[in-house]
Amino acid sequence: MLILHSLLRWILLLLMGLVIVRSYMGSKQQKPFTKQDNLFGLLMMIAADLQLLLGLGLYFMTDFMKSVHAAMSENMGAVMKNATMRFFAIEHITAMIIAIALIHVGRILSKKAATDEAKHKKLFIWTLIALILILVSIPWPFREMGRPLLPF
Ligand code: HEM
């Protein structure tokens, strides 16, 4: 599950990048909102929801997270002072759930928008905010709590 969660990050980031570029160009160049635009948005949402499911599984199942939960019930203050434990216990899950909710909001507002330009714009803004939140909430290898990249 951890390997899938780690790999799916790249697929999600790629899809979000595609959606952002397409919706930006779409609104700038006043392009129609096509079936393909909708498809990329849908695939992005599916990848985000899968990532949420895998993340929830990991949150309660890995040995590392079990040790974090044990520490939380013993001494929450100590967990809060430990950057790695705090990150995985609270920061990662909270930020990612908010980001995935923003992806959903963007798609809903885009679907409801009256014009094609507005559809592109809504999708662009909300996906961009979600992407920024995701990028700052990933345990990149260079961060204190970072995880090494898998060797493939
Ligand atoms: C867009 C959403 C998300 C992205 C891009 C993402 C990305 C990542 C990455 C790259 C790792 C490190 C994997 C590794 O060690 O190689 C990780 C770990 C983890 N993620 Fe996420 N994550 C996301 C959402 C979530 C959510 C919503 C949850 C919880 C509900 C979650 C729970 C976890 C946990 C518990 C770990 C650490 C597991 C362990 O090492 O024991 N993630 N995540």
How far apart CA 47 and CA 52 sit, in angstroms, is 9
Going from the Cα of 51 to the center of ligand 1, the distance in angstroms, rounded, reads: 8
pTM assigned to the model? 0.94
In a domain, 106, yes or no: yes
Which residue, among 67, 72, 16, has the nearest Cα to 44 in the 3D structure? 16
The lowest-confidence range among 134-138, 139-143, 145-149 is 145-149
Distances (CA, A) of 89 to 36, 113, 136: 38, 37, 16
In a domain, 59, yes or no: yes
Condensed to tens digits (0 to 9), the pLDDT of residues 7-62 reads 999 999 999 999 999 999 999 999 999 999 999 999 999 999 999 999 999 999 99
Which residue, among 145, 95, 93, 103, has the nearest Cα to 127 in the 3D structure? 103
- Residue 5 pLDDT: 97
Token look-up 């909430």 returns 137
Say how many domains are in the chain: 1
Which residues form ligand 1's pocket by a CB distance below 6 Å? Answer: 2, 5-6, 9, 12, 48, 51-52, 55-56, 58-59, 62, 64-65, 88, 92-93, 96-97, 99, 134, 138-139, 147, 150
Residue 152 has pLDDT above 90, yes or no: no
Q: How confident is the model at residue 145 (pLDDT cuts 50, 70, 90)?
A: very high
Vertex 52 angle, CA 19 and 97, to 5°: 80
**Residue range(s) defining the domain that contains residue 103:** 2-137
In a domain, 149, yes or no: no
